[in-house]
């Protein structure tokens, strides 16, 4: 297969986060497309082939289940820091998406591997997910908000104590595109050693 390098460059440079308020409401992505996005994520590089990424996909009534779980967990664990507005946002945001994918990192119990390498592998899987989302003309973003750092969220998402929840990937059709991105020149971040 001949690869069009210009298209690859365009895809990478035009990947953008698209947030829930930019999604087309009540429009659902076919599950088959979401499975293809996840299949592409599954081909991320993985040291010692541990394939540490674990995904739970919420859609339909599952979005309401996620919303109720995260709102109640937030209410239960925040104590004096509880904010009603955050609680309500956790309840209403998930049903505005087509799909939400939890991003888990499963620690290997059979291979001794630094945790950082497993986190990096999952991040590469998410980048594949991001690029695939862009290629399909869909919107999405990776968030570490909500219940990401609550230990009590792990069992709900099929994760063990030693595993990590690395956030959630929100998906939807784009109603309002994100603006053009910018980066400072790569030359300001690169050192060449030639001798």
Q: How many CB atoms lie within 10 A of CB 63?
A: 18
Residue range 16-189 forms a domain whose CATH class is alpha beta
Q: What is the pLDDT along the chain (195 residues), one digit of tens a residue?
A: 888 999 999 999 999 999 999 999 999 999 999 999 999 999 999 999 999 999 999 999 999 999 999 999 999 999 999 999 999 999 999 999 999 999 999 998 888 999 999 999 999 999 999 999 999 999 999 999 889 999 999 999 999 999 999 999 999 999 999 999 999 999 999 999 999
Q: How far is Cα 125 from Cα 55, in angstroms, rounded to an integer? A: 11
Alpha helices in 93-140 (DSSP H): 115-135
Question: pTM for the complete prediction?
Answer: 0.95
């Amino acid at each position: 297969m001949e690869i069009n390098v210009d298209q690859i460059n365009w895809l990478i440079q035009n990947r953008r986060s698209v947030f829930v308020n930019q999604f087309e409401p009540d429009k659902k992505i076919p599950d088959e497309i979401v499975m293809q996005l996840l299949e592409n994520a599954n081909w991320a590089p993985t040291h010692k082939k541990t394939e540490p990424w674990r995904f739970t996909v919420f859609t339909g009534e599952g979005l309401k289940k996620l919303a109720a779980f995260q709102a109640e967990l937030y209410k239960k664990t925040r104590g004096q820091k509880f904010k009603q507005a955050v609680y309500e946002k956790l309840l209403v945001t998930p049903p505005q998406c087509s799909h939400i994918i939890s991003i888990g990192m499963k620690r290997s119990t059979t291979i001794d591997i630094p945790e950082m390498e497993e986190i990096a592998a999952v991040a590469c899987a998410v980048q594949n997910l991001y690029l695939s989302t862009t290629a399909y003309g869909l919107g999405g973003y990776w968030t570490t908000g909500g219940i990401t750092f609550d230990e009590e969220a792990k069992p709900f998402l099929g994760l063990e104590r030693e595993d990590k929840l690395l956030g959630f990937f929100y998906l939807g059709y784009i109603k309002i595109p994100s603006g053009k991105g910018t980066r400072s020149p790569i030359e300001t971040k690169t050192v060449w050693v030639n001798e």
